[in-house]
Amino acid sequence: MDLQAEKIFAGARLRRLRRERGLTQADAADLLGLSPSYLNLLERNQRPVTARVLLALAQAFDIDVRSLAEGSDRQLITDLEAAAADPALAALELDRTELTELAETQPRAAEALTQMHQAYRSAAESSADLAAQLQGGDQPGRLNDTEAVRNAIDRRNNYFAAIEAAADEFGASLKLTLDNRVTVLEERLKTEHGIVVRTFEDAVMGGARQRMDFHTRRLMLSDRLSPLARPMQLATTMALLEFDDLLDRQVKDAGLETKAEQALYRMGLARYFAGALLAPYETFLTSAEKLRYDIESLQRQFGLGFEATCHRLTTLHRPDRSGIPFFMVRIDPAGNVSKRFGSGVLPFARSGGSCPKWSLFEAFRAQERLHTQRFALPDNSEYLSIAKAVSRPAGPNEPPVLQAVAVGCEWARADETIFADALLHRTATPVGITCRLCERAACSHRAFPSMQREMSVNPWRQAAGPYASDEL
């Protein structure tokens, strides 16, 4: 982003940023080296945010300045479109311009509307599936635990400076290398915590990948863990044992409501620490840039699996030294999303399946290779996608769990990667976020009618797909 040339009016975001940190205008102005009256003008969009103010914000609040640029709330706008297209609000006929203006000028009100809609959807789904609710499903009237955790991670742009710093310092003190990390971490567990690492068969593990037995002081690992998964499990355990205070502070700052949300978030942070420990930020980013983000080369250099490498790519958002903003998604063959990081890049639907024209789904048919694609959403924004199938051990007498992982970025940044070279002269594949939010009229892959168009049924004309719009 050209900080000198681009005029940024970000009053609502500045106000939200200040309030989230519990600061008065006078306190925030002092922190930024501004006068309270000037900050007041900035928050009322009567002055653009200058490059100097952006840099001061990055230093004082530890944020990526791109998050203040117009158009950075793509996920929020997508969520607003989903709410506006819902039958409960569809009669108002709110268009994208109005929704974008709401997101830009009143982001807190926009977030409140989208969270209300998500809670409404969650309650409706729970009512329709009473059996799931009786088995511990979501409480009506609030977001489900997983979605609440994803929102909390998105608010931090999947970057945690304190965890990065702790992992860097810890890794340097242990002098970790690719060759010694398993031995060093196991020795640390033994000497500092009296815990011995042992490997057991499924008959003992009962399908679990890891179990901590505090009574016998044993960390029990499944013999079905891959060589790449073992150091990740050890590093995650180290985070939980030695950095519990750090994790607790991060969980408290997230403001999550339920114990389940807090536990999920804490476990996610422990895995984040593990990734930062095994692939230190500066070393990983420098290698990524040198290798043009060649994922397979990064896997070999840092001894990580495909998914762990992709996950690490989504965390490179240090304000003074950032990489390409990557999104990531993980799905199963039924299209269920089990992991998702948008990084403010690609908006995701909160419910419903993904577009079958996305090459992410090709990964299940050809599991041995990477699947690259240049695709375009209905708003003409283009993206690079790299997808691959991954598997992990399941329980006893069960086949491995098969999933597909996709990572990607905006096409404008794709030339910084090796994957764009073969796609430069290809036309972008038209892809939708999900059928119900997709405006493309003539799509033979459509599984549901669009919520944004009136469905037209003509018995004398059979369209390419089962749901024709009024334009056909």
On the question of pLDDT at 133 being above 60, the answer is no
Whole-Å CA distances, 42 to 30, 59, 384, 407? 14, 18, 35, 36
Task: Identify whether the C-beta of residue 298 lies closer than 8 Å to the C-beta of residue 309.
Answer: yes
Predicted local confidence at residue 135, as pLDDT: 42
Q: Is 374 part of a structural domain of the chain?
A: yes
The pLDDT of 448-455, averaged and rounded, is 65
Single out the residue of 364, 368, 375, 362 nearest to residue 408, CA to CA: 375
Q: Is 89 part of a structural domain of the chain?
A: yes
Strands 371-376 and 382-392: antiparallel
What is the percent of the chain where pLDDT is above 90?
44
Predicted local confidence at residue 371, as pLDDT: 96
On the question of pLDDT at 398 being above 90, the answer is no
The pLDDT of 345-349, averaged and rounded, is 79
**Residue whose tokens read 């290779």:** 369
The pLDDT of 190-207, averaged and rounded, is 89
Which tens digit of pLDDT belongs to each residue from 147-175? 889 888 988 889 999 999 999 999 999 99
Residues 104, 37 share a domain:
no
Q: Residue 397 belongs to a domain with what CATH number?
A: 3.30.450
Domain count, the chain: 4
In the sheet where 218-222 sits, what is the strand order?
196-200, 218-222, 210-213
Q: If you average pLDDT over every residue of the chain, what do you get?
A: 84
Task: Identify whether the C-beta of residue 126 lies closer than 8 Å to the C-beta of residue 283.
Answer: no
Q: Is 28 part of a structural domain of the chain?
A: yes
Residues 101, 59 share a domain:
no
Q: Is 266 part of a structural domain of the chain?
A: no
Residues 415, 334 share a domain:
yes
Residues 413, 455 share a domain:
no
Q: At 354, is the pLDDT very low, low, confident or very high (cuts 50, 70, 90)?
A: confident
Single out the residue of 413, 406, 405, 344 nearest to residue 159, CA to CA: 344
Single out the residue of 422, 437, 351 nearest to residue 384, CA to CA: 422
Predicted local confidence at residue 349, as pLDDT: 72
Residues 445, 358 share a domain:
no
Predicted local confidence at residue 13, as pLDDT: 74
The domain boundary, picked from 143, 175, 190, lies at 143
Predicted local confidence at residue 118, as pLDDT: 72
Lowest mean pLDDT, pick from 104-108, 166-170, 273-277, 309-313: 104-108
Q: Can you give the residue range of the structural domain that contains 103?
A: 74-143
Residues 326, 425 share a domain:
yes
Q: Is 168 part of a structural domain of the chain?
A: no
Predicted local confidence at residue 187, as pLDDT: 97
Residues 424, 363 share a domain:
yes
Q: Is 281 part of a structural domain of the chain?
A: no
Residues 83, 43 share a domain:
no
Predicted local confidence at residue 3, as pLDDT: 43
Q: Is 131 part of a structural domain of the chain?
A: yes
Q: At 243, is the pLDDT very low, low, confident or very high (cuts 50, 70, 90)?
A: very high
Residues 369, 347 share a domain:
yes
Residues 445, 401 share a domain:
no
The domain boundary, picked from 82, 113, 143, lies at 143
Q: Is 367 part of a structural domain of the chain?
A: yes
Residues 443, 430 share a domain:
no
Predicted local confidence at residue 66, as pLDDT: 62
- Pairwise pLDDT comparison (123 vs 434), residue with the higher score: 434
What is the percent of the chain where pLDDT is above 70?
83
The domain boundary, picked from 51, 68, 85, lies at 68
Whether this model's pTM surpasses 0.85: no
Residues 419, 356 share a domain:
yes
Task: Identify whether the C-beta of residue 249 lies closer than 8 Å to the C-beta of residue 137.
Answer: no
Helical residues (DSSP H) of 200-294, grouped into ranges: 202-205, 229-242, 244-254, 259-278, 281-290
On the question of pLDDT at 9 being above 60, the answer is yes
Predicted local confidence at residue 158, as pLDDT: 93
